[in-house]
A and B are shown apart, each in its own frame.
Chain A
């Protein structure tokens, strides 16, 4: 399976990539290529030009600054998963990245490419949403920052403009008694999420819930934020029965996706189970 023909350009800086995007209509950015190349081989995508940003060193790596952590867009999943900074201060992102594909895929696939592609069955979108992450974008008009909650617009569609480059993902460092968990029910062959649950649970000193967040991959076209479940947990002592009841009473997912692997209603049932497991795991780690 060969991709259709395209012109190939290699950008040595983000500015050059933006300039090339402006010069070549409908061009696509190539990072790790692990979403784009499969789509091109199936001729689902036939961009006339590819702009290879894969060698721009400034876009790679994890840095921390004043309670927040910035992950360069070209950081591959294996490096996100293995990052000491993320493992200790934002373990949810590391755990979600360790769930992407397999070890070969994690060696090449990038966090920026993953989020820009916005595959609903991927592992990272719900984690970034549950963390309240921010997407950094750079275009001809300068930089802008978009909250994860506003970034994912629809199936494979984001707020990233055609002449912009996604440069980094910013997530807050966890503080206090906070635990996180990402658990997924995956398709056994592809590893894609039929349902992936990302949970963040913060506890007060007396053990009651100070704050929570629960988001899903794989169930809806964009990552689903189960804010009603999270709200129902705040102030409560989180024993198993309380978590089960909060999920049963408050998890409502409109328009779940259905396909040949799993119907929409089935995914919602799986989401209930994984919500409970993820919230309990996050509580235990807090």
Chain B
């Protein structure tokens, strides 16, 4: 067993874990934050995307010990004081989800994308979310949702 301390959504957690525990299991099973989904488990689908030290990362392909000392943000940590993050709001307003399974990961990727490129073209959005698969193929409205967020975050709307 190894002791790790991870700051998740602004709260510090110290836990004893097996070194082989994946970060996504630490988030879901140890901390009980089940908003982050497990999809393909092979680093392809992006359902498990979280922010680790501010960058989008697939948490099924990281060991929890690698996150020791890191700041992690999950979908539960995006809203502040009950106000949805603009990307969350975009998914609401533009019907950016159908079954919803890819949505937490898709939103985290959208947040990461807009942080690095606040005013992306449609092509840049589509390219930027290439690491997230929507099995419902609802990409059209996902792109609109991220465009909505980009406008809102730049003071539009």
Do A and B form a real pair?
yes
Q: Which residues of A contact B (CB under 8 A)?
A: 1-8, 10, 30, 33-34, 37-38, 40-41, 50, 52, 54, 78, 101-105, 107-108, 189-191
In this complex, which of A5, A38, A78 has the most chain B Cβ atoms within 10 angstroms of its Cβ?
Answer: A38
B window 88-121: CB within 8 A of A: 109, 112-113
Q: Is the CB of A6 within 8 A of B20?
A: yes
- Cβ proximity bits B55-96 to A, threshold 8 Å, 1 near / 0 not: 111100111011000000000000000000000000000000
A4-B20, A8-B2 known; A104+B63 contact, CB < 8 A: no
Which residues from chain B contact A103 at a C-beta distance below 8 Å?
A: 56, 109, 112-113, 128, 130-131
Which residues of the other chain, B, contact A5 by a CB distance below 8 angstroms? 18, 20
A105 and B20 contacting across the interface, CB-CB below 8 Å: no
Tell me if A102 and B19 are in contact (CB < 8 A): no
Q: Is B41 on the interface with A (CB-CB < 8 A)? A: yes
User: Are B62 and A108 within 8 A (Cβ)?
Assistant: yes
A104 near B19 (CB under 8 angstroms)?
A: no
Answer whether A104 and B65 are a contact pair too, CB < 8 Å, given A5-B18, A7-B19.
no
Please provide the 9 A-B residue pairs with the shortest distance between their CB atoms, ordered closest to farther: A102-B131, A8-B19, A107-B55, A104-B131, A3-B20, A104-B58, A102-B130, A104-B56, A1-B41
Find chain A residues with CB under 8 A from B2 CB. 8
For window 1-55 of B, CB contacts with A under 8 Å fall at 2, 18-22, 25, 41-44, 46, 49, 52, 55
Chain A residues in 8 Å Cβ range of B21: 2
Q: How many angstroms from the CA of A1 to the CA of B41 in the assembled complex? A: 7
Shortest distance in angstroms between A40's beta carbon and chain B's nearest beta carbon? Answer: 8
A34 touches B66 (CB 8 A): no
